[in-house]
Structure 1
Amino acid sequence: MYRGTRLAILREWASRDGSRDERNTLEREFLDASIGLEDSERATAVRRNRRLRLLTAGLALLLVVTGVGVVALQQRQDALRSQRVAVSRQLAAEALGLVESRPAAAMLLSVEAFRAAPTFEARSAMLTVSAHQYYQAELSGHDDAVSEAAFSPDGRTLATASRDRTVVLWDAVTRRRLATLLRQVLTAEALLEPGEPNAGRARRERLEPLVGEGVQFQQGTSLRTVDQLADGRSPW
């Protein structure tokens, strides 16, 4: 089959007047077949080009949509990050404001601030609160304010005396209540320190009474300084 230049020349010759009479049947069939093949190939090329253009346009649209989605996602992440940073700074500021009055709440707030976002303010708040933090636990067992507290010589038992005229014995390790005794004339020290009544006294200025609930005690050498006693036996 003719294609290209040859077919173009042949088609030009065939279009002249009288040329059809000069061709025999085989030549006419050959020319028609060549023209039909060229037209078919041209139509195929047009369809292919159209599909390529559609595919290119679709890919371009997909890239645009993807780009817009990525930008939107990035903006959302930036907004959430900014929100977490703002929350972290706010919680850190609140924690610092409660260091002296509510140390336990201050510690919780500083931890939540760091969890929200590890900002400079959150780290600073945690360090500041930790430096002022002596709070360890809360023991609830009295119906009135606690007036005294003392540890046993081995530091494993804590006795708290309250204005409700009871003395509660606690396991200092598990913080479990061991017994509740009627106070009468006994003090927390008298129960725990038969040898030297003042040796194991907890410093009262480090206690933070919670009226009607119990006593908060704090860790540190000032609270757990109990001199070695000659008689370490407990009277109970």
Structure 2
Amino acid sequence: MSKEVPGRSAQELRALLAQASGALKVFPLHGVAVLPGTPTPFHIFEPRYRELTRAALFGDRLLAVANLEQPGTELDPRPSLRAIAGACVIEEDELLDDGRYDLLTRGLARVRLLEELETGRPYREFRVQVLDDVLPAGGAVALRGEVTALEQCVLELASLLPPESGAAQLAEAAAGLAHHPGALADLVAAAVVSEAAARVRVLEELRVERRLELVTQEVASVILMLSRGRSPSA
């Protein structure tokens, strides 16, 4: 097993992603959102994606996870994909005895799929555009109210959940991202938002103000369920 990407900072990985944007390996799935800065595990078993994984591990360790336009088309040779995907780096990998892989990835950025490349390989590659967060005219400072609202929701959630839930650690981590509202929304969404369609909406929302609103609404819904004595759906 190899762990992490030695000697590469977040800035270096972002630069590496920019270099790879001309031909980025794409792993199509349904309802999976790899959000920037957050970890996502994968179990790779299908032969074409084992080959994709091998190529990534012997190369730059980068790939993008793209959502299917239609569920149930995973086995199609070239299913239609949604335009915005989550690019990530493989931080940890384990090759199992039967050739399957267990991976731990970390999101790097949102990317837009621009053009599929004809490579002759069994997996897909795309030319992509690396996307930046869209802040309002006043910048991050203009989102102070939205950031405070989300922080308060996370604190309330932590007060309702047992210590072993990790909610207190989430609240602490969220407080450290107050000046990075896009990253704050992504962190909380990765930890709290469980419904697939909602996670994809967060992934596809480039406007940070709207993303904060979406995540705050989702956390508030979980708080409401807990306050009524119900468990949030997994």
Structure with the higher fraction of residues in helix conformation: 1
Question: Which TM-score band applies after superposition, normalised by the shorter structure?
Answer: under 0.3
TM norm structure 2? 0.25
Q: Which has the larger radius of gyration?
A: 1
Structure with the higher fraction of residues in strand conformation: 2
Taking CA–CA contacts closer than 8 Å with sequence separation of 6 or more, which of the two structures ends up with the larger relative contact order? 2
TM norm structure 1? 0.25
